[in-house]
Structure 1
Amino acid sequence: MKALVLAGGSGTRLRPITHTSAKQLVPVANKPVLFFGLEAIAECGIQDVGIIVGETAAEIMAAVGDGSAHGLRVTYIQQEQPLGLAHAVLIARDFLGDDDFVMYLGDNFIVGGIGGQVADFTASRPAAQILLTHVPNPCDFGVAELDEAGRVIALEEKPAKPKSDFALVGVYLFSAAVHEAVRAVQPSWRGELEITDAIQWLIDQGQDVRSTVIDGYWKDTGNVTDMLEVNRSVLETVEPVVLGEVDTDSELVGRVSVGEGARISGSRIVGPVMIGDGTEVTGSYVGPSTSIGDDCVIRDSEIEFSIVLPHSSILGVRRIEASLIGRRVEVTPCLRVPATHRLVLGDHSKVQISS
């Protein structure tokens, strides 16, 4: 079995962060979202991975390399325009050959991995197997309609009037039968070749299409709210460790990870929190569900339930929460003092805030 990982797309819902960074490389718990997917694939024993890349190809390739750091062999496949998931399968034909494969959207996050689903598919080898989960807003997703026996009878992409609350999770398992399907479908109203239409074609041809409803945690990390929620979830698993320096005037409470070369002085850190390598936290409060990247400076400030990317500084600001702060950002006070600041800042930003 092979894997096809989608790491193209422009990430419009995460702008301005994605003006200067690939959405799949935005970190949760100081690790790019894409790496969680690659690790889940490797855990299934899959080694050959094709990564679909677009305009951020150079950044993705620099981060992943040849895949050996994850125990993988990576082949990069350029998609000139984001023309849909089925189009990604179409252009990956030479890489995939006639092998079964798992298609994994690079900005999706699934707790517990996909080992069980891959094992089920390998044992029964249907034409396709999809993963489903209940969602409160099915009109934002591909939606599956099931019959009374739980078989998939229809799929629709982002329907105005959903027929169920079963959303397709961004992981699909296919046999070689899908290649005929992606050649048969036409562009949707969005101008894309939809994978839901290809799977529907398989159903209409009488092919065996199966589904699994997952009970575990799943998020499409395409927006700030979901990024912060995934960050919170991952940090809940962090083991407390101190590899840097923490002075006697500081207090670490709960699950706190302090990276190598980090310095904590006169501060209170309430976990789960991850502090990156070389980061300085002085006279500050860092609250739960916060990850701070490498080589940052947090001084005389308060922050919680937030993500701060590397090389950024927050100086004399009270108080920041529910924020995603890009690389090389400077956050400093100005004259007025609002009760709370909520920020989504792109890389290299400079912001003045009342404090």
Structure 2
Amino acid sequence: MKALILSGGKGTRLRPLTHTGAKQLVPVANKPILWYGIESIVKAGITEIGIIISPETGEEIRRKTGSGEQFGANITYILQDEPLGLAHAVKIGRPFLGDSPFIMYLGDNLIQDDINVFLDKFKNQHLDELILLRSVSNPTAFGVAVVDDKGRVLKLVEKPKNPPSNLALVGVYFFSPAVHQAIDNIQPSPRGELEITDAIQELINTDKIVESVQLQGWWLDTGKKDDLLEANRIILDTNLSIDKAGNIDDKSKISGRVNIKGNTTIINSTIRGPVIIGENCHIENCFIGPYTSIGDKCTLVDADIEHSVLLESAQILEIDQRIVDSLIGGRAKLEMAPQRPKALRFMVGDDSHVELV
């Protein structure tokens, strides 16, 4: 069994942040989104992993994620020159996949459920395809499935105007090698892409065994700012361990589940968890509210922030109005001019400098 993780694309929904970096490397609870998928796959016993990368961000993903040794895996990087669809990614990954069954995992998705359960069903029932589904309120934005009362998949439609159900395809799929022939038999969609939904429908049309499982836990597609902040909130709620390795002075008050890494200094500040703070940060005269993740080497002075994500080396200086629901890019700098607004909400890309006037 192998795995194919899709980590290409241009990340247009997270711009300007992804003008300078890969969306799959944006951190959730100070860990790149991509790494959660890798860890989940390795936990299921799959160690041969191919990662689809794009020309724009592939080198950054390769540099930060490495050979896979840190995860106990062997990673092969596969370049997709253009984002021509999920099925196209499988097609260019075929030399790596060979005749092995495989799991395909979208690199900007997070799921709570343990994939071992789904993998066992896929293997034990000798399925050609197993898809994961979740009921959603806006099915027009997703690939949608129609299933019978036993979970057998009858029909798939990509982003339908009139959805036949509210069951959306989650970005985790289990395939037998039969999918390669199905992909060879489909044509690009009107938007010019080889759709994975068309390939799965081809499996159905040729009497292959295609079944589904509905997720019990949460599923998060982190392609937009609010989705990423929600993922950060849920991970901090469910996975955060308490650790106060930083240098915390006597005037500071720490409450709730808070994780502070080494060589970080906390001076005269209140931190109310769940909160994670990276290494080599300086936080002084601040309130850090719940559901905030602060990356390594960040500096916050006279700041009030909650339900936000700060990437590495970001700075917030002398802003005494509360910052909420914000995503601040790496090395970005926010500082206050003399006149002060009443409320602040940001999505700031890497290397930005914002002055509030």
TM-score by length of 1: 0.98
SS in 1 for 2:204: helix
Q: Report how far residue 149 of structure 1 moved.
A: 3.8
The one-letter amino acid paired with 2:325 is A
Q: d(CA) in 1 for partners of 2:278 and 2:255?
A: 17
Q: Deviations over 1:209-260 (max 9, x none)?
A: 0000001011010000000000011111211111111111000010011111
Q: d(CA) in 2 for partners of 1:181 and 1:98?
A: 14
Query: Residue 43 of structure 1 corresponds to which residue in structure 2?
Result: 43
The one-letter amino acid paired with 1:35 is W
Q: Is the 8 A contact 2:109 2:219 kept in 1?
A: yes
Q: Report how far residue 122 of structure 1 moved.
A: 1.3
Q: Deviations over 1:280-317 (max 9, x none)?
A: 11000000000000001011010000000011110111
SS in 2 for 1:215: coil
Which of 343, 346, 353 aligns to 1:343? It is: 346
Q: Report how far residue 113 of structure 1 moved.
A: 3.2
Q: Deviations over 1:165-185 (max 9, x none)?
A: 100000000001000001111
Q: Is the 8 A contact 2:151 2:213 kept in 1?
A: no
Query: Residue 29 of structure 2 corresponds to which residue in structure 1?
Result: 29
Q: Report how far residue 36 of structure 1 moved.
A: 0.1
Q: Report how far residue 112 of structure 1 moved.
A: 3.4
Query: Residue 11 of structure 1 corresponds to which residue in structure 2?
Result: 11
Q: d(CA) in 2 for partners of 1:4 and 1:279?
A: 36
Q: Is the 8 A contact 2:113 2:216 kept in 1?
A: no
Query: Residue 327 of structure 2 corresponds to which residue in structure 1?
Result: 324
Query: Residue 213 of structure 2 corresponds to which residue in structure 1?
Result: 212
Regions of 4+ moved over 6 Å: none
The one-letter amino acid paired with 2:215 is I
SS in 2 for 1:186: coil
Query: Residue 266 of structure 2 corresponds to which residue in structure 1?
Result: 264
Which of 336, 340, 350 aligns to 1:333? It is: 336
TM-score by length of 2: 0.98
Query: Residue 297 of structure 1 corresponds to which residue in structure 2?
Result: 299
SS in 2 for 1:300: strand
The one-letter amino acid paired with 1:324 is L
Q: Report how far residue 143 of structure 1 moved.
A: 0.5
Q: Deviations over 1:7-44 (max 9, x none)?
A: 10001000000000100000000000000000000000
Task: After TM superposition, list the pairs within 5 Å mapping 1:134-149 onto structure 2.
Answer: 134-149=135-150
The one-letter amino acid paired with 1:111 is Q
The one-letter amino acid paired with 1:2 is K
The one-letter amino acid paired with 1:4 is L
Q: Is the 8 A contact 2:145 2:157 kept in 1?
A: yes
Q: d(CA) in 2 for partners of 1:214 and 1:341?
A: 36
SS in 1 for 2:87: helix
Q: Report how far residue 161 of structure 1 moved.
A: 1.1
Q: Deviations over 1:305-350 (max 9, x none)?
A: 0000011110111221000000001100023322221100110000
Q: d(CA) in 1 for partners of 2:113 and 2:173?
A: 16
Query: Residue 239 of structure 1 corresponds to which residue in structure 2?
Result: 241
SS in 1 for 2:198: helix
Q: d(CA) in 1 for partners of 2:248 and 2:106?
A: 39
Identity %: 49
| Structure 2: stretches of 5+ with no match in the other structure | none
Q: Report how far residue 125 of structure 1 moved.
A: 1.8
1:174 aligns with 2:178: no
Query: Residue 194 of structure 2 corresponds to which residue in structure 1?
Result: 193
